[in-house]
Structure 1
Amino acid sequence: MQYDALQTFLTAAETKNFTKTAELLHISQPSVSLHIKNLEKEFETELFVRSPKQFHITPTGEMLYYRGKQIIQIYEQTKQEILAHHHAVQGELRIGASFTIGEYILPAVLVDLQKHYPNLQLKITIGNTEEIIGSVRELNVDAGLIEGQTSDQDLIVEPFTEDQLFIVAASSHHLNSLGKVTIDDLQNQIWITREEGSGTRAYLEHVLRSLGIKVKAQHSISSSQGIKEFITEGIGISLLSESVIQRDVIQKDLSIIELKDHSFKRTLSCIYSPIMLQKQNVQTFRAELMKRC
């Protein structure tokens, strides 16, 4: 049912005159007749009785008039609420994100956010997980996106998606010839890791400890791109997020090393101070994040 047709019907029911209805709505009289005809076809009923001497609404027309008034009222109220909501979402939104999330996951979320709220000014801070937690705690950002969670009791932690990680190596690395590797195959390898404070590094070290994997050497680099460059040169292997390596694997610059009977997943979380719940911009960002991810 079209809004314009319903509005035409309500006006005609009140004026009891198609010509006057056309004048009030600034449309032609044939358009009025067409709107009414379409409604009668949709509801399979006659809405008006018209003759040279009389014009009155039918019982089913009365039913549509009663409900139609409610529909128009709800429509107008909803329209005003949405306009008010869009108007309220403006100004600055400060987001802190860990490197993996900020460089590979967050951009797609922000594209949608800007489409829906063009008056929103975004300020993005990229750092490792520990740095982002500190920024959220000190209210330097409105919300933070981190790998894993935090034990900080003063912050609200909301998981928003699950991240899968893979062991990766250069396409020429000898592990590629083994098919699915075992824990023994991974012993005494050179591992390229992120810096201290990184969620990705913390997860890798947890994996190495829990699986009892001994490391021949461990080199740290403060960017995922740097790690990939080292791996491509055959310097070592690493454990990286699927979002980080996806393009490189497609281009065959890197290869995934499958570990038999094991997969690696972690939680990505949105964190913020309880005081930030009062900010409309933060609420809007949370909703967009959960919807997108």
Structure 2
Amino acid sequence: MAHLENARIVVFRAVAQQLSFRKAAEELYLTQPAVSLQIKALEEDLGVQLFDRTGSRVALTAAGKVLLDHAERVSVLLQQAEHAIAAMGGELAGQLALGASTTIAQYVLPRMLGEFLAGHPRVQPSLISGNTERIVEAVAQHEIGLGFIEGPSRSRDVKSEPFLVDELVLIVPAAHEWAEQARIPVEELKKVPLLMRERGSGTRHVLEMALERHRLKPASLTFAMELDSTEAIKSAVEAGLGAGFISKWAIAKDLRAGVSFRIVAVEGLRVQRDFLMIYAAGPEPQGLVQEFRRFVIDRAAMMRGA
């Protein structure tokens, strides 16, 4: 389905959200001069300056902030119109803007999204990934309609609901002395270098809270390295750099294929968490976002029962 939104407003929103003409050009697959010309033409039409360009810094003017607020609301309304018109023909169509924190983006969402698109081929998805803080920010700023995160959100600008249960498990190199043990005492974690996700990661937040409940303060542990993805932690463990906690969803295929790491149970320590769907505070999502939200809830129920 053709996009109903005015091209200049699309360019304006991209620059306003990125606060960068270069990044907006990359996002829209345009040249930077083309983006600049669109903004210049829009400013001339409105008779105001929308951006304050001081050196390499780009900031919205007061008029720019007003236009962005209205442009985001118009974008939502036009998307709803596209979805409603498509629904009149008995099918779903239009753009579906999603975001997911790293583990969900890599191991959970692709399968769900693939199944959804198989039944709705005219849907055009986009997906951004990052840690939990980044996805919460993207939902709150209406960059995406629906987000999926691994840790709790403290933002009042989003609503959240659980859709899938996850568990963090400890993995060690296959040659590690713990590899053949059925379980280890929780105090043993003080003796091994731990590979941790970066600050702002939902995985790290949940793990640190679980460890503190067992009186394992960060100061009593050896954090060998911070890594920005589950895959990086798996590779570092396989290389013998330490032990790490990762999602059970991230190792399902690895265990079937045979890998050079082992899962080790820790006495009394079970780190469970909810994967959450989030959307902007206010009215519940409508149209295509709502349809995908319902699909995820139904599909997650099937995965829990599998």
Partner Cα separation in structure 1 for residue 88 and residue 113 of structure 2: 18
Q: CA RMSD in A?
A: 2.0
Partner Cα separation in structure 2 for residue 198 and residue 86 of structure 1: 42
Tell me how many residue pairs correspond in the alignment: 212
Structure 2 residue aligned with 1:279: 286
Runs of 4+ in 1 over 4 A off after TM superposition: 85-88
Structure 2 residue aligned with 1:252: 259
Matched ranges for 1:228-247 at <5 A: 228-247=234-253
What SS does the aligned partner of 1:234 have?
coil
Match of 1:161 among 155, 159, 164: 164
Structure 1 residue aligned with 2:272: 265
Partner Cα separation in structure 2 for residue 208 and residue 261 of structure 1: 11
Partner Cα separation in structure 2 for residue 170 and residue 86 of structure 1: 55
The 1:276/1:102 distance shift into structure 2, 3 A limit, reads farther
The 1:233/1:283 distance shift into structure 2, 3 A limit, reads same
Note the C-alpha offset of 1:140. 0.5
Partner Cα separation in structure 2 for residue 105 and residue 148 of structure 1: 15
1:84-137: CA deviation from partner (whole Å, max 9, x where unpaired): 366462110000000000000001110111012111000000100000000000
| Structure 2 residue 177 is matched with structure 1 residue 174 | yes
Q: TM-score, normalised by structure 1?
A: 0.68
Match of 2:115 among 112, 115, 125: 112
Matched ranges for 1:73-84 at <5 A: 84=87
Matched ranges for 1:39-50 at <5 A: none
Partner Cα separation in structure 2 for residue 276 and residue 141 of structure 1: 15
The 1:85/1:195 distance shift into structure 2, 3 A limit, reads farther
The 1:278/1:255 distance shift into structure 2, 3 A limit, reads closer
| Structure 2 residue 186 is matched with structure 1 residue 183 | yes
Note the C-alpha offset of 1:277. 3.1
AA aligned to 1:285 is F
| Structure 2 residue 256 is matched with structure 1 residue 216 | no
| Structure 2 residue 228 is matched with structure 1 residue 225 | no
Partner Cα separation in structure 1 for residue 98 and residue 282 of structure 2: 15
What fraction of aligned residue pairs are identical, expressed as a percent?
28
1:51-93: CA deviation from partner (whole Å, max 9, x where unpaired): xxxxxxxxxxxxxxxxxxxxxxxxxxxxxx9x83664621100
The 1:209/1:120 distance shift into structure 2, 3 A limit, reads same
What SS does the aligned partner of 2:293 have?
helix
Q: TM-score, normalised by structure 2?
A: 0.65
What SS does the aligned partner of 1:175 have?
coil
What SS does the aligned partner of 1:209 have?
helix
